[in-house]
Every structure is written in structure tokens, then in C-alpha cells.
């Protein structure tokens, strides 16, 4: 699991005390400036959590009326509550507070798809936009607790939409705009959304995406949707359904009255976000208001050493949890500037990220290992042609980062003068679980180091479920007690929430990831131990892709496995049995790929599609995916126990098919 990698001692124990870091702004001190300070705070967060969280809440968020109980409930019961009795509003915390204190500070920098077309939105302007968008939503008859689906490109109006929902106590359900019409419809219906916010088209890497057309297609099977609010991104001619569709600009311009933030309960839902689990149907995780907001604010402050005046860029799409917490809510709750990046790291060429850093004087930059690996491969010249000396902290998220990529990130992008934070967490967690503290933690490339405040990790033996308490341990990663931003339930299926996360190992929150703790207590995440695969940081379940493939009428059966890939971490390898009588052909393969793209979206496209005559099965007819995984990994000499396999003679045929496909 821990990759043996040759690096200098300095790289392996990369430490950057702020006092000797010439990039660190004079007159400012890091929030956490020594490992001792981290330890003191961490110990307090564990030994006296109520005081710790009360202090953090006092510093970071504003309640309209005070809470009476800091926290209650347990992992085992799945009845977790934070800041009960309090009244609060997220948009007030992220916008109004700063519009009063620093109205002319920039809240959002929009780095549009084409370079040189950036737009700047101050906090005062943001408040005006959010109030008008909220007024528009209210004019649709929406009221507290109703759900709004957001299917938007990476434009500031996506963040404005989220904030407008939170202003009225509406629950947003952001659906990544790369998902197909089918996936969108499924998520709209499951969340019972009655309004969809979208755009005419999207732009990415010079390509036009027919966003509104996808929504129109989806809504054919969403009878519950009454209104569609359409932001004009390109101004192209698109279908417009009178009575249902409303143009964003027209509607917002009609709003003359300031919309006050609604006082919601701490535990009222803020948003639903769908993610894949190991079984077929995506899960709508429900995040609530006060705990989530505090988790976002606190981790943004400490992990990135963020403070007002900083310019933060998180390259993740708002359709993912990273975009929610670190693209929108975290930075705005701290009054800093957030950069919304519409383009691709490779557009128009591989210097785009670094040009963006240079242009906007970005101080903290956060992206995924897959982008780092891809850019590293294209050569250092794209980085070095830009002035990146404003950067102080650069982060990685979404999948394990290999030490080579980590060192390149720090040395070539960071000129050995920045802190690299490898942050581990999940959609379910709301905010960071494991991360170094920049300027305090001695990092090791490839390790997410130590727990965030309030997080008590435990390593369990996967089979016995016993906690491994020795320092050095390897097993599955669990968390022992609730933290403020943990998801409270799966929409409409609390039993599944309990079964998946809380009762897999009774009394522990189960992450689904393998982990190793080394002799110095550092955590090294090894990847998923379930049927979830991670392609470029996008999480998908093999079962979900299999059920999409089966939708193609040529297919009799399918089995999907993840294969490791140098750039994307993992790629999708699909094994397919055709209906009897059908012969393998390019047309059939193309049509299967088209089915997957239509059912889920382009992100689920299998890189390898291998048509087999037989699938390896047990005598009772269960597909033995382990065999396929091993063969696809080129480890056919390590298949293990095949005694339950009904017909081992088919193996040779599978191996030769795989060899010719790869
Ligand atoms: C899964 C969660 C919220 C982060 C974005 C993805 C993997 C995430 C790391 C990391 C190793 C990581 C895990 C996790 N993962 N960050 N720093 N090192 N693995 O969120 O879609 O909910 O996926 O991403 O496997 O379980 P997600």
C-alpha cells in the first residue's frame, strides 16, 4: 500500500514553518503554527468536545438565536444532532455578514472557459444577486423544506442558486452537469424537486454542452417539476417552454424587494447530494445546516490557513461535495475570495491552471491527483512560464496521490516553498477527516497524515471487526464518534444509512476505505475495499455501471471491475456476455458504450469493453469478480482459491481475450 519511493530526506519530511517562509505575508500568523498547537487543540476537541465546538462556533458562525445543546446522538443509533435549538441561515453567514463588513471585497472570481474573460463579483454584489435569486424562487411558490434541483455549468450563478436556496430554507440538490438526462431525472424525482435551475448551454474546453436540451429530455419523466429557471450562458437559441421556463435575468431583474434570510433550525436540511455506493441506486445524502456550515468553515480555515484577503481556488465542479464545501460554503463563510473555474486544466493548453493562479494571484489552490499526474506528464514548461509565487498552500483531494505526483506538485508548482495538504474525506463527511496542518505538520508524500479536530479514526480488522489499537496497523478505516458535518441520513432510506455506514461495524462510522497507520501514526489511505471505483476522483459503483450496460438489448450479462491507471487512478473495465446468437462487432460495442453514456453520463464510459463467451461463476451462479479483477490487473498467476468456480476451463479464454484488449 505504501509505495516505496526514492526522494530526498527533505521531500519526505517536508516542513515549512511560516516564520522562515518568505512567501508568508508579514504581520500575519498561521492559524496553526506548530504541531504542539495542533495537538493541544486536537486533544481539547476529543477530551472536551462541547467546549471546543462552542469556541469554534463562536469564532466562525453567527446564530440568530442560540442553541441549547452542542451535540447529541450516537453513530450506533444514527440520530446525530448538532447545535440543537439554534436558529441560523447559511446565506446570511456566507454573504450578508461580509457584505456588511467588507462590501467591496471580491467574493467570487469567475474564470470563464476562454482565457482573459474573468468576471469579479464583490460581496455587496453577491448579496444583491442572492437576494434577487431568492425572491425569484419565492415567486415560484417555494417554501422552507422544498427541494430545488440545480443542473448548472461552473458559473457564479450556480453558487448564487445554492445560496438563494439556503436563504429561504430550501434544500438544494446539485446534479453534476456531466450526468445524462436519465441520471438527472432519477435524482430530480428521488428528491421530489419541483424547480430546476439550469443554463441554456455550458462551455468547457471550447466545447458547447447542450445543458438545457438535457434538462428538457430529463423533464419528460419528471411530472413534479413546475418551473425551470434558465441562466443564459451563451445566449444560443434553445427550446423554451412558456409557462414552465423562466429566464434568469428577466426574473431577477423584476425583484425589487430585499429578501431577508429565513431563520432555520440548526438541523434543518441544507442540501442533498447523490453519490454512488456499492449497490445500484445512487444515495441521496442529506446534510443539515449548522453542523455542516461549521465543518466547512473550520476545515477551510485550518487546512488551507485561510483568512480574509486570500484568494482561494478549488478546481472541483460544484456538482461534487468538494465544490460545495471548498468551492462555495467554506471560503465564503470566511469572507475570502473564491475562484470559480469553468474550464479544463488542458485548455487552451496545459498551463491554464497556472495562468489562472498567476492572473488572480491565487494564494491557495486545491485540485485532484488525476489532474496533477496528467499535467506532470505534459512537462514542467507549462508551469514554470507563470509566476506562482503567491501560492502558500496547495491541496490534493479525491483519491490517493502517489509520492511522485506529490513531489512534483510541491517542487515544480510550489518551488519547494509551499505546504502540500493531501486531504482525505468523502461526500458523507461534509468536510476533511484527515489532513496535514500547513506550516505545522511534517508531511510525508502520499500520506493524508493526521485527523482533523474532532475526528477519532479507528483501524478495524476487516474480517473480525476488531479494532487494531497498536500504532502500526492495517485494516479498514472507521471513525469512532460523530462530528458536526457528517451526513444525517440517506434521503428516504434511513435503514440503508444505518446499514451502510453505522452498522457495518457496529458503533463505528465505516468509510469503505482501506488504510495503513505507520510507526509514527501517519495514515495512508489505500483505496476502496468495496465495489466502488474511483476514476479521476469520480466515484462510481460497479453495480451502477453494470445495470446501465444491461439496459442495452444486445447484452445478457455484465461484470465491471476497476483497473489501475497511471493518470486517472482507476479506469472502468467492463466484461460483457452477449445475448445468444449475437456476434461481437464494433457496432455492438459502440452501442453498449452509447447506452452507458445515456444511462449515467460520459464519466462512466468503460475504457475497456471485453466481450466474453463465459463469465467466471460459482456453482450457485454468482459472478466471481475477484477473478476478473485479477486477470484485468495482469495477475492471472494470483487467482487464489478457485474451488468454488463451476468451470475453471474457461479461464484460458478470458486471459487471452484480456491480453488482446489491453
Ligand atoms: C472517496 C470519497 C470528498 C473528496 C472528493 C471525493 C477517496 C478522497 C482522498 C485522499 C485517498 C481519497 C476515498 C473516499 N479519497 N480523498 N486524499 N486520499 N483517497 O469524494 O466522491 O465522496 O469519494 O474518495 O476512496 O472514500 P467522494
Strand, helix or coil at 485?
Answer: coil
Could you give the CA distance from residue 637 to residue 209 in angstroms, rounded to a whole number? 45
Distance (Å, whole) CA 558 – CA 547 = 8
Q: What is the pLDDT of residues 198-247, one digit of tens each?
A: 999 999 999 999 999 999 999 999 999 999 999 999 999 999 999 999 99
Say if residues 427 and 18 touch (Cβ distance below 8 Å): no
Dihedral angle over CA of 536, 517, 508, 422, nearest 10? -40
Ligand 1 mean position, distance from CA 637 (Å): 30
Query: Does the bond joining 348 to the residue before it have cis omega, within 30 degrees of 0?
Result: yes
Atom number of ligand 1 nearest to Cα 396: 17
Confidence category of residue 13, pLDDT binned at 50, 70, 90: low
> Strand, coil or helix: what is 285?
strand
pLDDT grade for 620, boundaries at 50, 70 and 90: confident
113-148: string of b/e by CB count within 10 Å (b at 16+)?
A: bebeeeeebbbbbbbbbbbbbbbbbbebebeeebbb
3-class DSSP assignment, residue 575: strand
The residue to which cell 443564459 is assigned? 232
Q: Per-residue confidence at 618, pLDDT binned at 50, 70, 90?
A: confident
Mean pLDDT in residue range 432-460: 96
The C-alpha cell that represents 99 in the structure block: 457584505
User: What is the average per-residue pLDDT within 523-546?
Assistant: 90
Residue 594 and residue 597: Cα distance in Å, rounded? 5
* Non-local CB neighbours of 518 within 8 Å, separated by 6+ positions: 2, 447, 471, 472, 524
Task: Return the closest-CA partner of residue 317 out of 379, 397, 217, 261.
Answer: 397
> Ligand 1, atom 12: nearest CA belongs to which residue?
399
The one-character DSSP state at 153 is -
pLDDT higher than 50, residue 2: no
- The rounded distance, in Å, linking the Cα atoms of 151 and 158 is 8
pLDDT reported for residue 5 = 47
* For the chain, percent of residues with pLDDT exceeding 90: 87
* pLDDT, average across residues 389-408: 94
Does the pLDDT value for residue 4 go beyond 60?
no
What's the pLDDT score for residue 527?
84
d(CA 327, CA 562): 29
DSSP track, 389-414:
TT--EEEEESSPPPHHHHHHIIIIIT
pLDDT digit string (tens) for 298-353?
A: 999 999 999 999 999 999 999 999 999 999 999 999 999 999 999 999 999 999 99
Give me the pLDDT at residue 1, please.
34
Residue 552 Cβ contacting ligand 1 at under 6 Å: no
Residues 6 or more apart from 48 whose CB is under 8 A from it?
none
Query: Could you write out the DSSP letters of every residue in 499-546?
Result: IIIITTTTTSEEEEEEEEE-TT--EEEEEESSSEEEETTEEEEHHHHH
Distance between the two ends of the chain, CA-based, in angstroms?
Answer: 24
Cα(615) to ligand 1 centroid in Å equals: 31
In the numeric block, the cell 511560516 is attached to: 18
Lowest mean pLDDT among 395-399, 497-501, 614-618: 614-618
Q: Report pLDDT for 12.
A: 58
Residue spans of alpha helices (H) in 241-345: 248-253, 289-304, 321-322, 330-333
Ligand 1 close to Cβ of residue 523 (< 6 A): no
18 lines ligand 1 (CB under 6 A): no
- What would the grid cell of residue 196 be? 430546476
pLDDT at 543 > cutoff 90: no
CA of 538 to the centre of ligand 1 (A): 9
Residue 541's nearest CA partner among 507, 580, 570, 582 is 570
pLDDT at 587 over 70: yes
Distance CA 535, CA 545 (A): 13
- For residue 3, the model assigns a pLDDT of 39
pLDDT tens-digit readout, 475-506 = 999 999 999 999 999 999 999 999 999 999 99
Grid cell 442540501 in the structure block, residue: 271
Cβ contact 650:657 at 8 Å = no
Nearest CA to ligand 1 atom 1: 426
> Average pLDDT of the chain?
94
The predicted pLDDT at position 226 comes to: 98
Residues 6+ apart with CB under 8 A from 157: 129, 133, 197, 199, 231, 248
| Digit-coded pLDDT (tens) for 107-135 | 999 999 999 999 999 999 999 999 999 99
The span from the CA of 299 to the CA of 265, in Å, is 22
Cell output for 13: 519530511
Q: Which three cell numbers stand for residue 472?
A: 502500526
Please report where in the chains the cell 446534479 appears, as a residue. Answer: 175
C-alpha neighbours within 13 Å on the C-beta side of residue 197: 33
Q: What is the mean pLDDT of residues 61-69?
A: 98
Closest to 347 in 3D by CA, of 212, 203, 467 = 203
Q: Please give the distance of CA 280 from its chain centroid, rounded to a whole number.
A: 19
Indicate if ligand 1 lies below 6 Å from the C-beta of 539: yes
Q: Which atom of ligand 1 is nearest to the CA of 316?
A: 5
DSSP class of residue 559 equals E
In sequence order, which residues have a C-beta less than 8 Å from that of residue 290 and are 6 or more positions away? 57, 61, 63, 67, 82, 83, 86, 88, 266, 267, 484
Q: Is the pLDDT of residue 6 over 60?
A: no
Q: In sequence order, what DSSP letters do the residues of 170-238 get, joined into one string?
A: PEEEE--TTS-HHHHHHHHHHHT-SEEEEES-EEETTEEE-HHHHHHHHHTT-TT--EEEEE-SS----
3-state helix, strand, coil in the chain (%, to 5): 35, 25, 40
| 322 C-beta closer than 6 A to ligand 1 | yes
Q: Is 183 in the pocket of ligand 1 (CB under 6 A)?
A: no
| Residue in 191, 136, 197 with CA at minimum distance from that of residue 168 | 136
**Average pLDDT for residues 453-473, to the nearest whole number?**
97
State the Cα–Cα distance between residues 576 and 299, nearest whole angstrom.
Answer: 44
Q: Which residues pair with 149 in a beta bridge?
A: 173, 196
Length of the chain in terms of residues written: 662
Ligand 1 neighbour 447 (Cβ under 6 A)? no
Indicate which residue's Cα is closest to atom 10 of ligand 1.
424
Ligand 1 mean position, distance from CA 423 (Å): 8
Q: Is 395 in the pocket of ligand 1 (CB under 6 A)?
A: no
428-437 mean pLDDT: 98
Amino acid at each position: 500500500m505504501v509505495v516505496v519511493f526514492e526522494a530526498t530526506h527533505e521531500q519526505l519530511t517536508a516542513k515549512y514553518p511560516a516564520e522562515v517562509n518568505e512567501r508568508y505575508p508579514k504581520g500575519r500568523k498561521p492559524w496553526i503554527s506548530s504541531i504542539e498547537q495542533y495537538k493541544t487543540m486536537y486533544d481539547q476537541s476529543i477530551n472536551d468536545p462541547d467546549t471546543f465546538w462552542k469556541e469554534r462556533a463562536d469564532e466562525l458562525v453567527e446564530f440568530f438565536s442560540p442553541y441549547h445543546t452542542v451535540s447529541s446522538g450516537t453513530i450506533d443509533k444514527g440520530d446525530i444532532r448538532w447545535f440543537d435549538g439554534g436558529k441560523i441561515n447559511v446565506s446570511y453567514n456566507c454573504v450578508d455578514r461580509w457584505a456588511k463588513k467588507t462590501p467591496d471585497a471580491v467574493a467570487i472570481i469567475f474564470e470563464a472557459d476562454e482565457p482573459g474573460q474573468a468576471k469579479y463579483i464583490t460581496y455587496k454584489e453577491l448579496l444583491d444577486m442572492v437576494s434577487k435569486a431568492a425572491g425569484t424562487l419565492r415567486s415560484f411558490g417555494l417554501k422552507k423544506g422544498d427541494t430545488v434541483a440545480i443542473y448548472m455549468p461552473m458559473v457564479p450563478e450556480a453558487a448564487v442558486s445554492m445560496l438563494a436556496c439556503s436563504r429561504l430554507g430550501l434544500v438544494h440538490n446539485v446534479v453534476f452537469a456531466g450526468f445524462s438526462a436519465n441520471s438527472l431525472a432519477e435524482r430530480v424525482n428521488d428528491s421530489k424537486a419541483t424547480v430546476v435551475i439550469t443554463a441554456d448551454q455550458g462551455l468547457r474546453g471550447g466545447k458547447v454542452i447542450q445543458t438545457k436540451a438535457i434538462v428538457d429530455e430529463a423533464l419528460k419523466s419528471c411530472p413534479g417539476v413546475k418551473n425551470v429557471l434558465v441562466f443564459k450562458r451563451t445566449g444560443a437559441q434553445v427550446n423554451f417552454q412558456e409557462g414552465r421556463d423562466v429566464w434568469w435575468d428577466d426574473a431577477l431583474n423584476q425583484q425589487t424587494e430585499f429578501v431577508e434570510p429565513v431563520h432555520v433550525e440548526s438541523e434543518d436540511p441544507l442540501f442533498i447530494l447523490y453519490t454512488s455506493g456499492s449497490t445500484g441506486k445512487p444515495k441521496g445524502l442529506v446534510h443539515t445546516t449548522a453542523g455542516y456550515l461549521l465543518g466547512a468553515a473550520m476545515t477551510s480555515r485550518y487546512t488551507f490557513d485561510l483568512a480574509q484577503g486570500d484568494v482561494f481556488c478549488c478546481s472541483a465542479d460544484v456538482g461534487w461535495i468538494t465544490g460545495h464545501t471548498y468551492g462555495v460554503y467554506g471560503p465564503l463563510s470566511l469572507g475570502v475570495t473564491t475562484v470559480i473555474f469553468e474550464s479544463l486544466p488542458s485548455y487552451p493548453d496545459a498551463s491554464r491552471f497556472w495562468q489562472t493562479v498567476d492572473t488572480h494571484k491565487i494564494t491557495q489552490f486545491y485540485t485532484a491527483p488525476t489532474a496533477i499526474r496528467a499535467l506532470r506528464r505534459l512537462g514542467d514548461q507549462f508551469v514554470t512560464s507563470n509566476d506562482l509565487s503567491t501560492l502558500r498552500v496547495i491541496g490534493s483531494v479525491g483519491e490517493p496521490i502517489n509520492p511522485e505526483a506529490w513531489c512534483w506538485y510541491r517542487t515544480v508548482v510550489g518551488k519547494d516553498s509551499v505546504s502540500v495538504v493531501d486531504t482525505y474525506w468523502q461526500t458523507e463527511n461534509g468536510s476533511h477527516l484527515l489532513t496535514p496542518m500547513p506550516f505545522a505538520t511534517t508531511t510525508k508524500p502520499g500520506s493524508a497524515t493526521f485527523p482533523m479536530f474532532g475526528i477519532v479514526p479507528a483501524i478495524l480488522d476487516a474480517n473480525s471487526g476488531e479494532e487494531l489499537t497498536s500504532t502500526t496497523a492495517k485494516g479498514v478505516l472507521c471513525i469512532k464518534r460523530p462530528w458536526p458535518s457528517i451526513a444525517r441520513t440517506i434521503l428516504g432510506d434511513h435503514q440503508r444509512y444505518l446499514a451502510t455506514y453505522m452498522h457495518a461495524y457496529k458503533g463505528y462510522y465505516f468509510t469503505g476505505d482501506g488504510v495503513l497507520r505507520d510507526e509514527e501514526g501517519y495514515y495512508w489511505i489505500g483505496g476502496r475495499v468495496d465495489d466502488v471505483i474511483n476514476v479521476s476522483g469520480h466515484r462510481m459503483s460497479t453495480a451502477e455501471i453494470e445495470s446501465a450496460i444491461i439496459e442495452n438489448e444486445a447484452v445478457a450479462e455484465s461484470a465491471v471491475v476497476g483497473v489501475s491507471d497511471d493518470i486517472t487512478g482507476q479506469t472502468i473495465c467492463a466484461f460483457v456476455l452477449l445475448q445468444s446468437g449475437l456476434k461481437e462487432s464494433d457496432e455492438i460495442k459502440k452501442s453498449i458504450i452509447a447506452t452507458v453514456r445515456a444511462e449515467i453520463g460520459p464519466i462512466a464510459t468503460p475504457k475497456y469493453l471485453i466481450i466474453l463467451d463465459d463469465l467466471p461463476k460459482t456453482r450457485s451462479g454468482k459472478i466471481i469478480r475477484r477473478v476478473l479483477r485479477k486477470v484485468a490487473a495482469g495477475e492471472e498467476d494470483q487467482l487464489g482459491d478457485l474451488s468454488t468456480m463451476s468451470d475453471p476451463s474457461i479461464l484460458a479464454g478470458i486471459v487471452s481475450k484480456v491480453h488482446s484488449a489491453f
